[in-house]
Amino acid sequence: MRRSKTVSRQSRCVSYRPEVVARTVAVTGAGGFIGAALCRCLVERGYRLRALYRRPPPRDSLPRDGVTPIQGNLSDRSSLARLLEGASHVIHCAGLVKAAWPNRFDQVNVVGTRNLLEQVARTAPQARGILVSSLAARHPLLSPYACSKAAAEWILRQEYPQLRWSVVRPPATYGPGDRELTKLWGSMRRGLLPVPGDGNQKVSLIHVADLAAAVACLLEVPAGSADPIELHDGTPGGYRWSDIARCGEAVFGRSIRIIRCPAGVLHSVAYANLGLARLLHYAPMLTPGKVRELLHPDWVCGNESMSICTAWYPRWPLKEGLQAL
């Protein structure tokens, strides 16, 4: 019963047109959390896909029809050329979200984006494109990750203004396949909600199905947008941590205790984690830069830009999204 409800609530773009059947979309980052959701959404809407993977994807992770997997990465110009061959649309979703060294963000998010756009300008200059960025790009000084996402946007605007591309800045995104926020929901299920600092931050959220549907809608808009497009799950003003706790209580049927983590403690743990990651060669999520992002007071965005150029609307507020998970 839960399964059929989830399918029926999938976000849709009411401006969908059947003629997209003959169009081919090139997708980078197809093996990631957001990229995989985008691929499923686009195939359902009748697009043919060329999907770039760093390593061969499991067979069951791909839709049965409509997807041509291409193994490669953003530094491999030959795989980028194969990816873009005959593409009428491009979605750049590949990106690095955690790293032990700042230059790793630049190698993937900045240099990789430039490599792709250079190949697009050479191979598919008329293609409609979407750069999936991050709301963190609003404040590039907060972290190396935020700086790299802002730099990728700058490259698109300043070096390739002739391309018909738009930038989408999603807020914190969750849903099936997510590895990070799932830990938070698991803690809430056990009755605890750890929050950064004083817990007074406000954030917008979006379910990955809503984000995928929004990108699909933007593909149907013929011209790119000069300004980044922000979007959320339809909750005006976003959520405070207390709001998230109340949603969790309604979904999990238990009281949830908010545990405040002092900023000083978070920074100490983050520096220790970063040092250990560099020693043991793993990519840490909790770093000093990530702590600065978590402590930032306002990550609220709006849907005005999306409403102006598309008929998209969100279908998954947080309570329903948690119930589906």
- Give the three-state DSSP class for 284: coil
Q: For 199-259, give the secondary structure using H, E and C.
A: CCCEECEEEHHHHHHHHHHHHCCCCCCCCCEECCCCCCCCEEHHHHHHHHHHHHCCCCEEE
CB proximity list for 316: less than 8 A, separation 6 or greater: 9, 11, 175, 206, 207, 209, 210, 233, 324
Q: Give the pLDDT of the chain (325 residues) as one tens digit per residue.
A: 343 343 334 444 444 444 444 589 999 999 899 999 999 999 999 999 999 998 877 666 666 678 899 999 999 999 999 999 989 999 999 999 999 999 999 999 999 999 999 999 999 999 999 999 999 999 999 999 999 999 999 999 999 999 999 999 999 999 998 988 999 999 999 999 999 999 999 999 999 999 999 999 999 998 877 789 999 999 999 999 999 999 999 999 999 999 999 999 999 999 999 999 999 999 999 999 999 999 999 999 999 999 888 999 999 999 999 998 8
**What is the crossing angle of helices 208-219 and 33-44, to 10°?**
60
- Give the three-state DSSP class for 48: strand
> How many other β-carbons are positioned within 10 Å of the β-carbon of residue 314?
21
